[in-house]
Chains A and B, each alone.
Chain A
Amino acid sequence: MRKPRHLQFILSLYITILIIGLAVPRMALADANDVPEATSFTSQHWTTGLHLMAGLGVNTAFFSSSFLKKEAGIGLNIHTSVGYYFFNDYAFEVSTNVMFNRVKRTLIWNTLGTMGLRFRLPTYLAPAKAHPYLKIAAGRGPSVFIVKGQKPEFFDLGGDRTQIEGDILSSAYGIFQNARDGTSWFLELSATVNSYRKLEAIRDNKEVPEVIDSRIVTDHAAMYAVALTFGVVVF
């Protein structure tokens, strides 16, 4: 299937940012690298090893397909990421951003699972005392549509809920800052596109979900989401 042109553009943009990102931290962060080896994670010193981040935030989403364009309003999101940090500048991460939105009687539950790279940006790209970073990630994840009561006309599928799986591209700009008690917190603004590929109608049979209908998505359906998350470095 031919990819929509805007997705090809976004993909090219990501690759370009990724290449720049690999080069920027070494050029711009001599001050951060001068910090002596610390035992705990701080905004200016990312200790080598495994780190877990968690946060809560708000998001807004927009659903677009060839025959329907709909705003999904403002919802809550739970963001977590597990990353291996290295060279004080980079991290390979596996993360999920679980988003909940409601459009009238429809609850949209997005699970955006991605793998990607986090890297530092020059400190002048953030407020004083904060240390900025950029994240580029890709992955796959489902959006689940749960309709309460009678389904809207454009829902011609049966079942208790509809699950649409898609390919995800995500980028985020964020800042780390140290709190007075020694913990580090982050504020992150992320943009995500989930290009839908496969649609399934689900029915629960004695708590076991069964797929009663499955289709390939052919109408360029996608969910665009922007999320603002506040979180902490758990360890």
Chain B
Amino acid sequence: MSFLVGLILSLLFVFGPGPGLFAQSSSRDDYHHMPMEDISPREKAGNFGFMYVAQWGIYYVSQRETIDDHGSFKNWHENMTKPHFDKDHFNYNIFKHTITGQYYYLFYRSRGYEQKDAFAWAALSSLAFEFAIETVTERPSYQDMYQTPVFGSIVGMGFERMSLYLHSLQTWPTTMLGYIFNPFTVLPMSHYQLGFYPTKYNDKGALALSLEMKL
């Protein structure tokens, strides 16, 4: 049910006829995603590699007990060629995999990818996880290969817009929520243009380090 609510909310935020909340307006208070014109093959490989290493780390930490009980190197290479329809509960197949896919999508968006490219790379990362990580404990799953990037990207698009809108309100509670909906906006190098800037307060005779999001 929580997945359905999430999906409906995302669709509303992505396509809802609201009062231009997420439109690319010229208002200086709106925050936008700023795609890169050209991402070099080296950067693409680096981003994919970073995600692959992160996937291994999160998989190991979150599935340690399962890996100890059922995992092996033999599984890892033998399972690669045996995809099947998995037997997982829908809590895993729909809810958890969608959340994971959403982070894949938002990561690539934070690296400056256009929507379609972020979706495509999220799909590749999902395939990498299914065929070259999770095979330690189980066979690749057809449902996960499709649903992780597709459902994840759709929910990710909604959360991204919601996060940018919340950041645009420029109050600390909404900014915190903006980080929760899209944690990648907190990264200094992200293409949501968040950065640390030295600020001089002439009226107070002080120098400070400000955390800002550029338009």
Contacts and interface: CB of A to CB of B under 8 A. Distances in A.
Contact of A56 (B7, B14, B69): B7
Most chain A beta carbons < 10 A, residue from B17, B65, B143, B150: B150
Given A80-B150, A207-B66, A208-B70, A113 B143 contact: yes
B200 interface: no
B6 to A, nearest CB: 11
Interface stretch (A13-21, A24-32, A120-128, A198-206): A198-206
B154 interface: yes
Most chain B beta carbons < 10 A, residue from A111, A140, A146, A206: A111
Contacts of A160: 89
A181 B19 CA distance: 12
Nearest to A140: B85
A209 interface: yes
Contacts of B116: 49-50, 235
B11 interface: yes
A54 B94 contact: no
A52 B147 CA distance: 12
B87 A163 contact: yes
A218 B165 CA distance: 55
B107 interface: no
B55 to A, nearest CB: 19
A132 interface: no
A82 interface: yes
A94 interface: yes
Contacts of B115: 235
Interface string B170-213: 00000000000000000000000000000000000000000000
Interface string B26-58: 000000000000000000000000000000000
A54 B11 contact: yes
A109 B150 CA distance: 18
Contacts of A161: 89
Majority SS at the chain A contact face: strand
B15 interface: yes
Given A76-B4, A80-B154, A206-B66, A96 B147 contact: yes
Contacts of B7: 56, 78
B88 interface: yes
Contact of B142 (A80, A113, A146): A113
Nearest to B4: A76
Interface in A96-151: 96, 98, 109, 111, 113, 140-142, 144, 146
Interface string B56-75: 00000000011001100000
A89 interface: no
A228 interface: no
Contacts of A146: 89
Contacts of A235: 115-116, 119
B143 A56 contact: no
Query: Sorted from nearest, which 7 A-B pairs have the closest CB atoms?
Result: A209-B87, A202-B87, A80-B150, A142-B85, A232-B15, A54-B154, A235-B115
Interface of B: 4, 7-8, 11, 14-15, 17, 65-66, 69-70, 85-90, 93-94, 115-116, 119-120, 137-138, 142-143, 146-147, 150-151, 153-154, 157
